[in-house]
Chains A and B, each alone.
Chain A
Amino acid sequence: MVNNIFEDLIVRGGLVGNNNQLKLFRKIDFSMYPARAFAITINDIYNKKGLDYLIKLGKIMGESAAVMFRDEINKMKSLIKKDYQTIKNLIEISGFGKIEEFIEDEKKITIRIKNHSVIAPSKELFSNKSSVCSFYGEIYGAFIRIFKNIKKLKITHTKCGCNNGEFCEWVYEK
């Protein structure tokens, strides 16, 4: 049974191969990276350049992915709704993690994530010095801003527990 967005995409042919590259919707290429190694990469950058720089990089990476998906979806003329389910799915197929909960009210959006493949090893390796949550918080923020057409969001990492069966939680104030 297909119950996962990756497998679903592969089975339906949404993810195809062309010239040895992995493409989504025949256009978007992917490259993979070992998750634990990415935790090491992010923490290295943090140690060298600090939190503000990491936040800047999260924004760049998140915006780049979100803008590309938005433009592709726009070309498909509303076949895909730009709702929270789409944001969740796109974040997941971009490899940025599986969002468990996405709660929206007038003033804010709360997202919760569990068992994150980069955050979990990062907490194991760097414990409370792990910086990856700040990076991912910006990535999710970029998707929310771009798909919800919001200019600015105030991001707060309200709970952090991806390494012990709990969840990480971010609140995005509109």
Chain B
Amino acid sequence: MSIVNYLKESILKRLIKVEDGRVKMFGKIDYIMFPGVAMAEFLHQIGKDMGEDYLFDLGYKAGLDGANEMIEKLGLFANSIPTNMNIINSMFETLGFGKMNIKVMHSEDGQILLTLVEHPVIEYAKLKYGNKTRVCALYRGIFSIHAEKDLKVKNCKLIETQCVLKGDAFCEWSSNYFKKSKKT
């Protein structure tokens, strides 16, 4: 389902409510919408001035709060891991976080391999800065903590082995999957 159909349907089902200029998921969690281009420039500048690790860290902290808020206010992710995976997939797509494909996951061993395409912010960053930007680090941080909290992947700190920004077809992220030497 396209994201806007999902959004339309979500609004019809009152999953996403718009009240007094505020977008609320399930009527409980506030979300803000950013034009992809503005977010790309914002993140590019931070990455340029403070480095990729800081961007990852920012994403990790934001993702931790986001994941906690979903658990606190919606009681999500008390389900089985496959159900959680479906929730995460459709939720991230709805949020304009691109299309994620989890290829390998062994939660107990802390192992995960996934790819990401069509992320609007990463796409804009690529257009504007090509391989000179590291904006995906923020989203890698966000996904890392969601994988740890919602998918129970132990000590998940995703590394990037392929990247849209470097001309690859997708961003490829993993934790405890490849030997460190493959990290680009």
Contact = CB atoms under 8 A, between A and B. Distances in A.
Give the dominant DSSP class at B's interface: helix
Closest 10 CB pairs of A and B: A98-B21, A17-B4, A17-B2, A29-B120, A95-B33, A35-B30, A29-B36, A31-B96, A37-B62, A117-B30
B130 interface: no
B52 interface: no
B3 interface: yes
Interface residues of B, number: 52
B37 interface: yes
A33 B62 contact: yes
B179 to A, nearest CB: 32
Nearest to B121: A31
Interface centre among B40, B46, B93 (most CB of A within 10 A): B46
Contacts, number: 175
Contacts of A173: none
B97 interface: yes
Interface of A: 4-7, 10, 15-24, 28-38, 40-41, 44-45, 48-49, 53, 56-57, 60-62, 64-65, 68-69, 92-98, 115, 117-118, 121
A46 to B, nearest CB: 12
Interface in B112-130: 118-121, 123-124
Interface of B: 2-8, 11, 18, 20-23, 29-42, 45-46, 49-50, 54, 58, 61-63, 65-66, 69, 93-99, 118-121, 123-124
Contact of B96 (A32, A35, A45, A62): A32
